[in-house]
Amino acid sequence: MPEKPITADGYSPNQVARVKATCLYLATKLGDLMPELVVVGGLVPSLLIDQENLPANATPHVGTLDLDLGLAFALVGEERYQAVAERLRQANFRPDTNEDGNTTRQRWRISDPPVTVDFLIEPAKNAEADAGRLFPLARDWAAIIAPGLHLAFINNRKVVLSGQTIVGETAQREIRVCGAGAFVVLKALAFRIRGENKDAYDLFYLLRNYGRGISDVAAELRPLLSDQSAIKALDYLRHDFEGLDSIGPRRVAKFLYGRPDADTQADAVGFVRQVLQECGT
């Protein structure tokens, strides 16, 4: 699979539409198992923020190249993951391959050109050092260990997807999407772990455009602040977005424009400072 683009011009509206269509198709196939899954990752901002009614001067979210689905760890404990894997196969999903042609158990694909689905999980005794490693679920299926994922099962929102599935059917289904508070935590942790421009941009976009403003994001974050993952994530945010030339603001600008941009960097610093202040940290 090609590496993710490091700037916004590598993302096309057509691809995010295909990712949404894949998400809808999965929801029709997994049905009763969907309460054990939650959409996380780069698709979240375009599901939480109405792209047809954006705030003044806002542009649509660039979207994502793939679908990230978080698995409830209880699903593993009950061994219901076998049912998920079987339904994936029956729905014509197949394990993807990496650049060396080897099978990737954590990423499945469908359609041509392909849309890929990554599965994430957080074991009960998760450590940040395990982030990105694989947790085996079945012979040909694994999930990526994602610190803080449990918060997406605490703070989430039900969203209705409707339209055509990736195989051309018309359908409508309700899905669970990571809430704004948990999304900030997950993206702050991911940015500290892998430092991708896209993670910094996703954070910036949500803080800039969610709800009625930063206060709405803080309102969803505050109930999570007794959790160690949330505490750590906000500490990372404070340091990574501390000043104009900090890694966070610089990479937001790099993603959007391919170069530094003082106004964008100032906005990124301001949004993060405000959410931290409103969270009392």
Contact 117, 111 (CB under 8 A): no
Whole-prediction pTM: 0.94
Say how far apart CA 99 and CA 6 lie, in whole Å.
18
The pairing of strands 134-138 and 94-97 is unpaired
Distance, CA of 245 to CA of 250 (rounded, Å): 6
| Backbone dihedral region for residue 243 (phi beyond 0: left; psi -120 to 50: alpha; all else: beta) | beta
| First-to-final CA distance of the chain | 40
pLDDT in tens for each of the 281 residues of the chain? 457 899 999 999 899 999 999 999 999 999 988 988 999 999 999 999 999 988 788 899 999 999 999 998 876 655 677 888 889 999 999 989 888 788 888 899 999 889 999 999 998 776 677 888 998 887 778 999 999 999 999 999 999 999 999 999 999 999 999 999 999 999 999 999 999 999 999 999 999 999 999 999 999 999 999 999 999 999 999 999 999 999 999 999 999 999 999 999 999 999 999 999 999 88
The torsion of the CA quartet 80, 230, 247, 130, rounded to 10 degrees, works out to -40
Full DSSP string of 58-110 = -------SEEEEEEPHHHHHTTTHHHHHHHHHHTT-EEEE-TTS-EEEEEEEE
Alpha-carbon gap, residue 152 to 73, rounded angstroms: 12
161 with 173: CB under 8 angstroms?
A: yes
pLDDT of residue 75: 67
Instruction: With H, G, I as helix, E, B as strand and everything else as coil, classify residue 173.
Output: strand
Distance CA 99, CA 109 (A): 14
- Tell me, what's the pLDDT at 167? 96
pLDDT per residue over 24-68, tens digit each? 999 999 998 898 899 999 999 999 999 998 878 889 999 999 999
User: CB–CB of 47/68 below 8 Å?
Assistant: no
